[in-house]
Amino acid sequence: GENVEQHPSTLSVQEGDSAVIKCTYSDSASNYFPWYKQELGKRPQLIIDIRSNVGEKKDQRIAVTLNKTAKHFSLHITETQPEDSAVYFCAALSNAGGTSYGKLTFGQGTILTVHP
């Protein structure tokens, strides 16, 4: 089955700096890669996603890049703000058929702390 590794597990930055979180996946059939943000005690919320036919996607201060050959994808947050502090999860969805529909495999999460 799919395995997703996420690094780093914790990340501390100063307000205004950039933050980068990286994930690798194992299943070459994976073709959808969402990123979720989870604040303490709250539900995960999608912040950006990318499909395998796209190499990069940007939404204001957030961008995601995908390298299918190397099987890794990254989240980039620019001009970080204290409210960006949360746990970020990457995930991969493998659609190799059979029983894989909708099955997201999540990384272990990155605790991002943005210091004012």
Contact positions toward another protein, by CB under 8 A?
Answer: 32, 34, 36, 42-46, 49, 51, 89, 91, 93, 95, 99-109
Query: Which CB sits closer to another protein, 69 or 99?
Result: 99
| 8 within 8 A of 21, measured Cβ to Cβ | yes
User: Which lies closer to another protein via its Cβ, residue 10 or residue 18?
Assistant: 10
Q: Which is closer to another protein, CB of 24 or CB of 109?
A: 109
Shortest separation between residue 15's beta carbon and another protein, angstroms:
28
Residue ranges of E strands in the chain: 4-7, 10-14, 19-25, 30-38, 45-51, 56-59, 62-67, 72-77, 86-94, 104-106, 110-115
| Nearest distance, CB of residue 82 and another protein, angstroms | 23
Residue that is written with structure tokens 């702390």 in the block:
113
